[in-house]
Amino acid sequence: MLEFREIDIKDKDRITSALRKSQFMGCEYSFSNNMAWRRLGDSQISFFKDFYICCSFRSDDGVPRFFFPSGEGSYCEVISEMKRYSEALGKPLRVAGITENTLQMLRESFPDSFTVSTDDGDWDYIYNAQDLINLSGRKYHGKRNHLSHFNELGAEFNMMTENDFDDCITFSTIEYNNKSYEHDHSYIAEQYAINTYFTYFHELGLKGGVIRIGGKVAAFTIGDELNDETFCVHIEKADTKYDGIYAGINNCFAKEAAAEYKYINREEDLGIEGLRKAKQSYHPAFLLKKYIVTFK
C-alpha cells in the first residue's frame, strides 16, 4: 500500500530523476513547485518502484487529487496501486495533470473505466522563448511600446543574488498586506511558496531576476528548468505604478534566464479574467490542455 508524507528538500534528487525521465511539460512537474506550493492543496508525496507520485488532499468534495505519476515502469501497475489506495480511503481514484498523450494511454489501458473533465483555467500557457525575447512582428507591437515606457524609467535589471532576498520578501509582503484578500487560503499559500523559494533558492536550482528603481525593488521573478526544452516561470511580482514594469521584467528575465530553451511555460491563468487577458496578450505558441480523470 502506498504511504504518503510531506515533501522534503532531501527528496530533490530522487524526484528530479523521476521527473527528468518523463520530461512532462506541465508546471506541476517541477520539484520546486511541489515543494513551495504544498500548502495550497495540502499535498503529500509517495514513491512506487521508480515512480514519483504527488497527491493533493484538499478538495471541495473530499476526494484526493493525484497527479499523473512521473518516472518509468508499468503505468498500469502504478495506476492500479493508486486505485487501491483511494479505494481503501473509500474514495474513487482521481488523477489530474493528464495531457492528450497520457489520456490516450489511460483509455487504452483502462477502457471505459473513468470519466474525463477539464477546466481551461488549469491549462498552461506555453510560449516560444524567442518570441518573448525578441518581441518581433506586428502582434508584439503593443508589447514593444510597453517596453519603451519601461526603458524610460531608469530601471536596473539584474539576475537575483542572496543580497536581493530580503528586499524581495519585503516587497512581496507589502503587496500582500495592501490587498484585501489576506485571509484567502490561496494567497496565504502564495506567501508560503515565495518564502520557500527564497529559503531553498540555491538547493532548488532556481534563477531569479530583480528590477530596481532608485535602488528599491520594483519587480522580481523566479523560475527554473522544467524539462530539457522548457523553462518555467513560477512567480512574477511588480509594482504597477511603473508603466511597462511587467513587460520589462518578462523580457529581461527571458533574455537572461531562458535564451537556451525552446519554450517558456508561464503556468495557468486560474480562470482569472485579468490574468487570462495578460497571458493571451503574449501570444502563446499553444495551451497545454490538461484533464482530470475520475475512475468509476
The residue count of the chain comes to 296
Structural domain tally of the chain? Answer: 2
Average pLDDT score over residue span 1-9: 97
Residue 177: pLDDT band by 50, 70, 90 thresholds?
Answer: confident
Same domain, 112 and 236: no
Q: Which of 54, 89, 123 is the last residue of a domain?
A: 123
Q: What is the pLDDT of residues 33-55, one digit of tens each?
A: 999 999 999 999 999 999 999 99
The pLDDT value recorded for residue 187 is 83
CA nearest to 146, candidates 259, 281, 34, 28: 281
C-alpha 168/C-alpha 286 separation (Å) is 31
> What is the reported pLDDT for 169?
96
Please indicate, yes or no, whether residues 13 and 114 belong to a single structural domain of this protein: yes
Domain boundary among 108, 123, 138: 123
The verdict on 253 and 133 lying in the same domain is yes
Quick check: 183 pLDDT over 70?
A: no
Report the CATH number at residue 50: 3.40.630.30
Q: Are 88 and 188 contained in the same domain?
A: no
Residue 295 lies in a domain: no
In a domain, 183, yes or no: yes
Mapping DSSP to helix (H, G, I), strand (E, B) and coil, where does residue 271 land?
coil
**Domain presence at residue 1:** no
Last residue of a domain, one of 100, 123, 146: 123
Of the chain, the percentage scoring pLDDT greater than 70 comes to: 99
Contact 213, 109 (CB under 8 A): no
pLDDT bracket for residue 209 (50, 70, 90) = very high
pTM for this prediction: 0.95
Please indicate, yes or no, if residue 291 is contained in any of the structural domains: no
Q: What is the pLDDT of residues 234-280, one digit of tens each?
A: 999 999 999 999 999 999 999 999 999 999 999 999 999 999 999 99
- Whether the CA torsion 11, 17, 21, 25 is positive or negative: it is positive
Our measurement of the distance from residue 128's CA atom to the centroid of its chain's CA atoms, rounded to an integer in Å, reads 17
Q: What is the radius of gyration, based on Cα positions, of the chain?
A: 20
What is the tens place of the pLDDT at every residue in 16-26? Answer: 999 999 999 99
* Spatial separation of the C-alpha atoms in residues 52 and 168, rounded to whole Å: 32
Is residue 171 within 8 Å of 220, Cβ to Cβ?
Answer: yes
Co-location of 166 and 113 in the same domain: no
Is 289 domain-assigned? no
Average per-residue pLDDT in the chain? Answer: 96
3-state secondary structure (DSSP) of residue 232: strand
The SS3 call for residue 222 is strand
The grid cell for 139 is: 502582434
In a domain, 237, yes or no: yes
- Averaged over 94-109, what is the pLDDT? 97
Given pLDDT bands bounded at 50, 70 and 90, which one contains residue 180?
low
Question: Considering the domain boundaries, does residue 2 fall inside one?
Answer: no
pLDDT of 210 strictly over 60: yes
174 and 42 in a common domain: no
State the Cα–Cα distance between residues 54 and 70, nearest whole angstrom: 9
CA–CA dist 19, 226 (Å, integer): 9
Give me the pLDDT at residue 288, please.
Answer: 98
Same domain, yes or no: 137 and 59: no
**pLDDT-derived band at 59, boundaries 50, 70, 90:** very high
State what percent of residues in the chain have pLDDT above 90: 95
Same domain assignment for residues 111 and 151 = no
Domain assignment of residue 284, yes or no: no
Confidence of residue 185 (pLDDT cuts 50, 70, 90): confident
Do 151 and 205 share a domain, yes or no? yes
- Quote the domain boundaries for residue 45: 9-123
In this prediction, residue 182 has a pLDDT band, given cuts at 50, 70 and 90, of low
Q: Does residue 14 sit in the same domain as residue 68?
A: yes
Helix (H) and strand (E) counts for the chain?
10, 14
**Cβ neighbours, 10 Å, residue 95:** 25
Q: What phi and psi values does residue 223 have, to the nearest 5 degrees?
A: -160, 180
Q: Is the pLDDT of residue 181 over 80?
A: no
Q: Are residues 135 and 114 located together in one domain of the fold? A: no
- Looking at the fold, whether 15 and 105 belong to one and the same domain comes out as yes
